[in-house]
Amino acid sequence: MTDGVVFIDKAAGVTSRSIDNQIQKRFANRKVGHLGTLDPFATGLLILAVGKATKFLPYIDDSKKSYLASLTLGIHSSTGDPEGILTKSEGPVPELTDQKIANVLKTFLGKSQQIPPMTSAIKQDGTALYTLAHEGETVERTPRPIEVFDISLLHHEGDHFDFVCTVSKGTYIRVLGEDIAKALGSVGYLTALRRLSIGPWQLRHAHKLEALDEHCFIDPTVMVTGMKHQELDDEQAKKAKNGVLLELDPSLGPKVLVVQHTVAIAVYRQESGNHYVSERGLF
């Protein structure tokens, strides 16, 4: 049985959940989860946790994500991607230049509000939006705050161009692509999408699913970068394993990962002063 985190370079045409299922079977471990679902048409970095490592998923930094996206103008997709019903625009696509595209892309930098697509997994009154969409329903969705930290043109040819972007967690690149097309005076949809990074973790460290083995797994302790790590002595470690309150240096911050011999035991949360209470055991 394997416990740990692994970076997968997801192929197109498969769901993120199906990757989980394959990992479950291959490594005989029912506990498998991933960080940040990729649509079937999308490729790139998928972070998976197996066994006890699934407990670490909420503490892995996924606040920023980077993508390479391909956008085609002049055609509308009912889902914003190749899986939807495609309808050609009645009017011609405005003449595009690299400078015009680059200037429009810059207008998307910063914070804004984005309406999630009906094909998303966000729940409305307990039902996922994609379920409602499959039943032919369209409901009002509450706009969500997003931020585009960086966006730039990579390549342009005719009515098609590629761009790279770094965005906040929860940003739908399909919707961003549609909004970019609209700002250019047309309609458009993503023909391809590749995730390049999640937080500090890069696609270049990922493995193809077929090449994956037990040597590809890493200790999830090193994945917790959003809080300080505090080494405990034997007495403190015993308390932490039993969820007992710990007295720690307040300068450690509101949350701390307590470890012994660099192996994670638990996440502790500051209650007041130097009093820290157990939030979640990780062993």
Residue 21: per-residue pLDDT:
96
Question: What's the average model confidence in pLDDT over 229-255?
Answer: 97
DSSP character string of the chain: ---EEEEEEEPTTS-HHHHHHHHHHHTT-S-EEEES---TT-EEEEEEEEGGGGGGGGGS--SEEEEEEEEEESEEESSSSTTS-EEE-SSPPPP--HHHHHHHHHTT-EEEEEPPPTTS--EETTEEHHHHHHTT-------EEEEEEEEEEEEEETTEEEEEEEEETT--HHHHHHHHHHHTTS-EEEEEEEEEEETTEEGGG-B-GGG--GGG-B-GGGG--SSEEEE--HHHHHHHHTT--EE--GGG-SEEEEEETTEEEEEEEEEETTEEEEEEE--
Residue 141: per-residue pLDDT:
80
Per-residue pLDDT band for 137 (boundaries 50, 70, 90) equals low
Instruction: Tell me: pLDDT of 119 over 80.
Output: no
The per-residue pLDDT of the chain, averaged, comes to 93
Query: What pTM was estimated for this model as a whole?
Result: 0.92
- Which positions are annotated as active-site residues? 39
Decide if 16 contacts 22 (C-beta within 8 A): no
Residue 138: per-residue pLDDT:
72
Count of Cβ atoms closer than 10 Å to residue 52 Cβ: 17
Same fold, 4-62+201-220 and 227-281: no
pLDDT tens digits for range 185-212? 999 999 999 999 999 999 999 999 999 9
CATH number (3.30.2350.10, 3.40.605.10, 1.20.20.10, 2.60.40.10) of 4-62+201-220 reads 3.30.2350.10
Query: Into which CATH architecture does domain 64-198 fall?
Result: 2-Layer Sandwich (3.30)
Residue 179: per-residue pLDDT:
97
Name the fold adopted by 227-281.
Answer: 2.30.130
Domain extents in the chain: 4-62+201-220, 64-198, 227-281
Instruction: Tell me: pLDDT of 221 over 80.
Output: yes
